[in-house]
Each structure stands twice: as structure tokens, then as C-alpha cells.
């Protein structure tokens, strides 16, 4: 059966935004005489100069999106601070760009904290989140005097107080509450349900906050919440922040100190042209639910700032006609961008040569070379004929793209380039084979490998 005879696949293909709609929705992409460009740098030029697969980020899109969020909060009259969730993309150049805009950081590991500091973010502007911070991580965060540590359990609170007291310091903490609110997103990135590992049940919040205030190494400063990621409706935010407001009231009524509310991140982006809340609408919900409390507001967006600002540039290795399907095989794979394999995520795929946009479209599966059927970027996608050497851009890959890469199948990590206007610069070298294997060792009992002996059964022989 031809894929075109399959109504479900045909319908799926026709519900997709067309190439021009995808372009129109992304102001940092442009069509130039030399094809698709990020800002004013044609992607063909980047592919020729730096090879593929390569991540390409628009500096203008990142700063513009950060400013749009900051302005929306300001215009709503909120005293709010943006702590960029570095897990979305921890490239030094991106964190530095955001630090220069005034962003603080939300970090979840020692590594992220060190990158933030290196990028020029002051320790007081760092929130340290995460459900399983190690003793060592807590100790170094305290030694660095980070501004806020979000505590996720009674057990962690005790551990942190012990460490801080032993160091003779006090940890400024926010208690992360699990509101048991369904964020309506993919199950793997929902974090605010009772069944999730995150946070403290709201019923325990006041007792634990009271206990925190009594501990020698702890200064409670507020409450935190994060309900999930790629949230595309405001209703779950309204429910969660309503609960946050009520809890803040109870903390105050108990005579306990509170100065801030950390509202998490999660604001979704339109991967497939879906309706998502605007920054102004999100700010209005913050204002409506929390605005009257006289408390500082912290938000921790990651994806919304950097997601649309990045693409993954890939080259077609070959096009293969299978029995029932056409496969476009790229030189990028699930080890580079895992979101489609892991979450069934939809990413736009744009050929960078506009002539291809005018060609006849038919369904194709866009896949990588990794030896798993799950190494699939798109199924039944309406695409033109795309032969060897054609270059495509996988859109909205700026968040949870390169940070989730691995070297599976011994594929080195891709290069990364940042564009600003008419110039581009490599912000991460393509990983060399040597760098990928650095740290590999043989156990002593295997000894150094000898060259294999000649003959049909050549096997390496350990030297004694």
C-alpha cells in the first residue's frame, strides 16, 4: 500500500503547517537569495564552513524573547525576576548572552552552577533546584553563597541544615510544593502531580516551613512550585498559583517570614503552530493570582526563551524507498536530538533551498543513521524529494536539544554556531574522536593491546 492510500497518515500530513507558515512564525529565520538563513547568515554557508550536524542559534531571538518576557512582567506591574532554567541549554555563549540581559539562573547541578558563575551570573542570582542534590553539591553551593536553595523534602531539609550548621552558614531556602495539579503536558515532563517525585505535599507545607524556621542552618524565604514543561494552557498555572497564594497566606498567618514566591517555568512554545499563551497572558495570571501579596516573584523559564531560537542543521545522507515508505536519512540522529524519540515530539523540518519548497510533496519518514527504529525525527511528513546532500533545518531545537545529546553509536557531539546579524561564530567545536574517547582506559589485567596477528582468526592478544 502506498502511504498516500493510508488516510490517517495523509490526514496527519495535511494538518501540518506548510513551509511558508513555519517561516512566517519564526522571525529570526529569513529567506535570502542564498536560501534559508538564521538572521542574515545563510544556512548553506554555515553547513559549508562548519559541516553537519550543527546546532545554530540566533542571538537576536534569544535576547528578544528574554526581553519580551521581562517586559511582560514589568508591564503587569510585577516585581519579578527571571532565572533562566539552564537545563534547557547550558551553552556558555547562551548563558553569557542572557546574563548580560540581567537574567539570573535556575541550576540543578554543580556543573550548571559553575557554568552560570563562569558566565558572569552572581551567586545571589542563582536558584539551586532539584530533587536529589548531593551533599557535595549542597556544600559547594553554600560555600559560593547561592541566593536560594529549593528544598524538595523533609529529608533534604535536615541534610541541608546539618551541612550549613557545620559550615557555620545559613541556607536561604524555598520549599517546593507539589500542588497535585495536572499541567496537561506529556507524562514524562509533568512534575506537579502527587505521583511525581517532586516537591512536598501542600498539606505538609506549613508544618515543614515552621520546622525549617526552627533549624539552625536554615532561613526560609519562600515557597516554590513547578508544574511541568511545555505547558500550553493557563488553567493549570491559575490553579497552582492560586494554591501558592493560599499557602503564602497561611505562612504569614503563622507569623513566619516569607519574601518570595518561585513560580517555576514550563511555558510552552508552538512547535506545530498550536495556540500557546503569550507572555502578557502568563504575566496576567501571575498578577491575578499572586500580584496582591507584596511578595517578590521568581520565574524559571527555559524552553520559552531558547527553544525557538535554535535549529539543528542536518544533511541528507541518502533517500531510500522502502516497501511502503520513503525514508529520508539524515546525518543527524537521536543521539543529537532525542525529543522525537523520547516524547514523540514534533519538530518542523525545513529544506534550506526554497526551490525544494515548490516541488511536489509526499509523505516521508525522516530518520537518522542510528541502529534503532526509534531513531525517527518525523513520520509521514509532507516533504519534497530530498536526495543526497540536501540540507534541512530541524526547527525549535534550541531547548533540550544539544544538552540531551549523547555519543550513542560512537557519534561525536555536534558543533554549535551562534549567529548575530550578518556574522556567525562557532560556540562549540565539533567533538573530535579523541575528545569523545578521552578517559577510556583498559583494566591493568588486559594490558596494552598488541597489533592483531595476521590470519583469518585475528584477535587482540593481551601482553603479559
Tell me the catalytic residues: 371
Shortest reach from residue 176's CB to ligand LLP, in Å:
8
Q: Could you tell me which residues are beta bridge partners of residue 172?
A: 219
Query: Which of 3, 217, 222, 266 touches ligand LLP (CB under 6 A)?
Result: 266
Interaction of residue 88 with ligand LLP, rule CB under 6 A: yes
**What is the phi/psi pair of residue 30, to 5°?**
-145, 155
Nearer to ligand LLP, 341 or 420 (CB): 341
Binding mask 339-358 for ligand LLP (x = CB under 6 A): x---x---------------
Secondary structure class of 75 (helix, strand, coil): helix
- Would you count residue 308 as binding ligand LLP (CB under 6 A)? no
Phi, psi of 255 (to 5 degrees): 75, 25
Residue 391 or 397 with smaller CB distance to ligand LLP: 397
Nearer to ligand LLP, 266 or 348 (CB): 266
Which residue number, 229 or 420, has a Cβ lying nearer to ligand LLP?
Answer: 229
| Peptide bond between residue 250 and the one before it cis (omega within 30 degrees of 0) | no
265 binds ligand LLP (CB under 6 A): yes
Sign of CA dihedral 155, 159, 160, 161: positive
Cell 574517547, located at residue? 437
Q: Which range in 70-78, 258-266, 371-379, 449-457 contacts ligand LLP by CB under 6 A?
A: 258-266
Of residues 311-340, those binding ligand LLP (CB under 6 A): 339
- Per CB under 6 A, does 85 bind ligand LLP? yes
**Site residue total, ligand LLP (CB under 6 A):** 23
Q: How near is the Cβ of 301 to ligand LLP at its closest, in Å?
A: 4
CA-closest candidate to residue 391, choices 347, 330, 325: 330
CB of 187 to ligand LLP, least distance (A): 12
Residue 106 or 137: the one with the smaller Cβ distance to ligand LLP is 106
Give 147 or 384: the residue with its C-beta nearer to ligand LLP: 147
> Among 372, 417, 385, which residue's Cα sits nearest to residue 93?
417
The three-state secondary structure class of 5 is: helix
- Residue 363 as a binder of ligand LLP (CB under 6 A): the answer is no
**Is residue 65 within the footprint of ligand LLP (CB under 6 A)?**
no
What's the closest the beta carbon of residue 3 comes to ligand LLP, in angstroms? 28
Sites for ligand LLP among residues 183-242 (CB under 6 A): 189, 191, 226, 229-230
Query: Of the candidates 3, 42, 291, 301, which one interacts with ligand LLP according to CB under 6 A?
Result: 301
**299 alpha-carbon distance from chain centroid:** 15
Considering only 106, 125, 180, 331, the residue that binds ligand LLP (CB under 6 A) is 106
84 contributes a contact to ligand LLP by CB under 6 A:
no
Q: Which is nearer to ligand LLP, 13 or 88 (CB)?
A: 88
**Which letter, b or e, does each residue of 329-360 get, where b requires 16 or more Cβ atoms within 10 Å of its Cβ?**
bbbbbbbbbbbbbebebbbbbbbbbbebbeee
Instruction: State the burial class of residue 314 (Cβ atoms within 10 Å of its Cβ: 0-12, 13-18, 19+).
Output: buried
| Phi-psi map region of 463: left, alpha, beta (phi>0 left; psi -120 to 50 alpha) | beta
DSSP annotation of 462: B
Give the DSSP letter string of 8-62. Answer: HHHHHHHTSPPHHHHHHT-TTEEEETTEEEETTEEHHHHHHHH-SSEEEEEHHHH
Q: Distance between CA atoms of 9 and 19, rounded to whole angstroms?
A: 18
**Could you tell me which stretch among 134-142, 239-247, 302-310, 433-441 binds ligand LLP (CB under 6 A)?**
302-310
Q: Which of 179, 291, 302, 340 binds ligand LLP (CB under 6 A)?
A: 302
- The closest of 250, 192, 268 to 225, measured between CA atoms, is 192
C-alpha cell recorded at residue 217? 542552618
400 makes contact with ligand LLP (CB under 6 A) = yes
Binding site for ligand LLP (CB under 6 A): 85, 87-88, 106, 129, 189, 191, 226, 229-230, 264-267, 300-304, 339, 343, 399-400
Amino acid at each position: 500500500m502506498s502511504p498516500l492510500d493510508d488516510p490517517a497518515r495523509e490526514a496527519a500530513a495535511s494538518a501540518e503547517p506548510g513551509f511558508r507558515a513555519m517561516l512566517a512564525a519564526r522571525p529570526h529565520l529569513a529567506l535570502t537569495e542564498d536560501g534559508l538563513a538564521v538572521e542574515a547568515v545563510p544556512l548553506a554557508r554555515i553547513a559549508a564552513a562548519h559541516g553537519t550536524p550543527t546546532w545554530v542559534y540566533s542571538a537576536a531571538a534569544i535576547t528578544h524573547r528574554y526581553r519580551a518576557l521581562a517586559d511582560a512582567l514589568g508591564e503587569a506591574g510585577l516585581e519579578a525576576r527571571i532565572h533562566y532554567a539552564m537545563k534547557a541549554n547550558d551553552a556558555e555563549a547562551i548563558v553569557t548572552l542572557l546574563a548580560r540581559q540581567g537574567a539570573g539562573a535556575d541550576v540543578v547541578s554543580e556543573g550548571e552552577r559553575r557554568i552560570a558563575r563562569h558566565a558572569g551570573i552572581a551567586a545571589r542570582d542563582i536558584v539551586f533546584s532539584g530533587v536529589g542534590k548531593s551533599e557535595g553539591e549542597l556544600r559547594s553551593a553554600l560555600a559560593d553563597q547561592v541566593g536560594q536553595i529549593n528544598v524538595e523534602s523533609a529529608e533534604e531539609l535536615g541534610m541541608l541544615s546539618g551541612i550549613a550548621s557545620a559550615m557555620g552558614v545559613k541556607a536561604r531556602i524555598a520549599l517546593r510544593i507539589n500542588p497535585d495539579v495536572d499541567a496537561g503536558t506529556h507524562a514524562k515532563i509533568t512534575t506537579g502531580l502527587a505521583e511525581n517525585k517532586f516537591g512536598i505535599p501542600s498539606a505538609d507545607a506549613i508544618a515543614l516551613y515552621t520546622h525549617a524556621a526552627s533549624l539552625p542552618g536554615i532561613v526560609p524565604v519562600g515557597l516554590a512550585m513547578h508544574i511541568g514543561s511545555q505547558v500550553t494552557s493557563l488553567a493549570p498555572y491559575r490553579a497552582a498559583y492560586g494554591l501558592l497564594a493560599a499557602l503564602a497566606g497561611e505562612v504569614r498567618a503563622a507569623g513566619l517570614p516569607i519574601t518570595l514566591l518561585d513560580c517555576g517555568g514550563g511555558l510552552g512554545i508552538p512547535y506545530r503552530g498550536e495556540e500557546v499563551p503569550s507572555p502578557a497572558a502568563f504575566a496576567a495570571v501571575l498578577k491575578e493570582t499572586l500580584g496582591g501579596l507584596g511578595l517578590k516573584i521568581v520565574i524559571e523559564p527555559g524552553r520559552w526563551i531558547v527553544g525557538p531560537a535554535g535549529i539543528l542543521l542536518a544533511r541528507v545522507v541518502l533517500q531510500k524507498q522502502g516497501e511502503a515508505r520513503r525514508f529520508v536519512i539524515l546525518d543527524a540522529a537521536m543521539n543529537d536530538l532525542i525529543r522525537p524519540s523520547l516524547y514523540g515530539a514534533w519538530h518542523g523540518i525545513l529544506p534550506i533551498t526554497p526551490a525544494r519548497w515548490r516541488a511536489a510533496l509526499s509523505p516521508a519518514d525522516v530518520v537518522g543513521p542510528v541502529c534503532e527504529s526509534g531513531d525517527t525525527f518525523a513520520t509521514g511528513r509532507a516533504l519534497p524529494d530530498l536526495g543526497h546532500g540536501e540540507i534541512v533545518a530541524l526547527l525549535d531545537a534550541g531547548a533540550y536539544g544539544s544538552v540531551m545529546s549523547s555519543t550513542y553509536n560512537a557519534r561525536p557531539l555536534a558543533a554549535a554556531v551562534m549567529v548575530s546579524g550578518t556574522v556567525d561564530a562557532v560556540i562549540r567545536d565539533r567533538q573530535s574522536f579523541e575528545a569523545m574517547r578521552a578517559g577510556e582506559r583498559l583494566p591493568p589485567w588486559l594490558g596494552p593491546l598488541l597489533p592483531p596477528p595476521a590470519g583469518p582468526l585475528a584477535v587482540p592478544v593481551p601482553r603479559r
